[in-house]
Homo-oligomer: A and B are copies of this chain.
């Protein structure tokens, strides 16, 4: 009896809690706070934060592996986050399903009306690769313990695309997955703070006031064929990007084809919501003190900020270059939307444009590079998976 009482006491969190776990629970609560109070990507950061809290409760066993006896009979079931992480994230299933849903939510119309904006989506990926160099330098200098695979996974934060970052990290650097996902979603939420100073620094008021010509209307047929064209090009040139872009285009085709509206509706509602809940809990499970509380996390957070900034700058500079050579004028602000972070970055471009000229509506024009950035970072992800993994 006293023995059992002692056992019960030994089971409590008060007895077992280690400092690292305490700190990580606080980090989880901070994410919850940012999600609810500051509106930081709440759909992901709330489940991630709760997931981080739960996985760090000592003795709760959320990441416990199931135990089987010799005959294959389960003697002790695994924890919830164990099943979620190994079933949905390690396998890549959840990010791919999310990407399908995002595809079903994406309108490529503005991009199809002005395909040149794809170049802006390409330029903004420079943030990714510049960050890879940064991480490699930190690793080569011995300051931090980054391999090439780690560096590639860190760089993808600059893609400003959550599911892509999680997919790549789960394949190249699972130990860094938690920090990478948190950095990616946090900076995506911070886009309205990170981008405007860079945009103002690199453009003059005249440039920011440039009006762009009304986009041509896009036909239903173009919207239907486009995702198929992308899939074929991916199949030809970069099969390692096919999982991401294939599911993305599948979702988009369901949206646009008009004959499977009930599937498209489910992909962008019930299915993506269910997967988002579990994805968040699964990512949160990687926010353990061993994986998160170290110098590398600081490096990742710092490099992620650099990645966003360089990507933004690269997009703007490319837009300025295109403006010089293009017959139609291009407002350099829309280049910043090339980092993706759909649709936040496009809204920021619109807002900064309106500050310079109250009649200047850039939102539609910025949506082109914005969705192009999604394709661009998926292509970059494919190159990384092929280069590092192959």
Contacts and interface: CB of A to CB of B under 8 A. Distances in A.
How many copies are assembled? Answer: 3
Nearest to A249: B50
B247 A80 contact: yes
Interface residues of A, number: 83
Interface string A229-261: 001101111111011001100100110011110
A59 B239 contact: yes
B263 A60 contact: no
A368 B7 CA distance: 32
Contacts of A224: 36
A62 interface: yes
Contacts of A14: 236-237
Interface stretch (A288-296, A320-328, A353-361, A382-390): A382-390
B390 A235 contact: no
Interface string A10-40: 0111101100000001000100100110010
Contacts of A188: none
Contacts of A12: 236-239
A57 to B, nearest CB: 4
A47 B390 CA distance: 29
Contacts of A100: 277
Contacts of A226: none
Contacts of A17: 235-236
Q: Per DSSP, are chain A's interface residues mostly helix, strand or loop, or mixed?
A: helix
A58 interface: yes
A42 interface: yes
B242 A54 contact: yes
A390 B141 CA distance: 48
Contact of A46 (B42, B50, B90, B260): B260
A271 B274 contact: yes
Contacts of A58: 235, 239
A60 B243 contact: yes
A4 B387 contact: yes
A269 interface: yes
A91 interface: yes
A244 to B, nearest CB: 10
A129 to B, nearest CB: 14
B266 A54 contact: no
Given A60-B243, A100-B277, 11 more contacts: A8-B390, A11-B240, A35-B257, A42-B259, A50-B231, A57-B235, A58-B239, A62-B246, A80-B243, A267-B277, A270-B273
Interface of A: 4, 7-8, 11-14, 16-17, 25, 29, 32, 35-36, 39, 42-43, 46-47, 50, 53-54, 57-62, 66, 74, 77-80, 83, 86, 90-93, 96, 100, 170-171, 224, 228, 231-232, 234-240, 242-243, 246-247, 250, 253-254, 257-260, 262-263, 265-267, 269-271, 273-274, 276-277, 281, 383, 386-387, 390
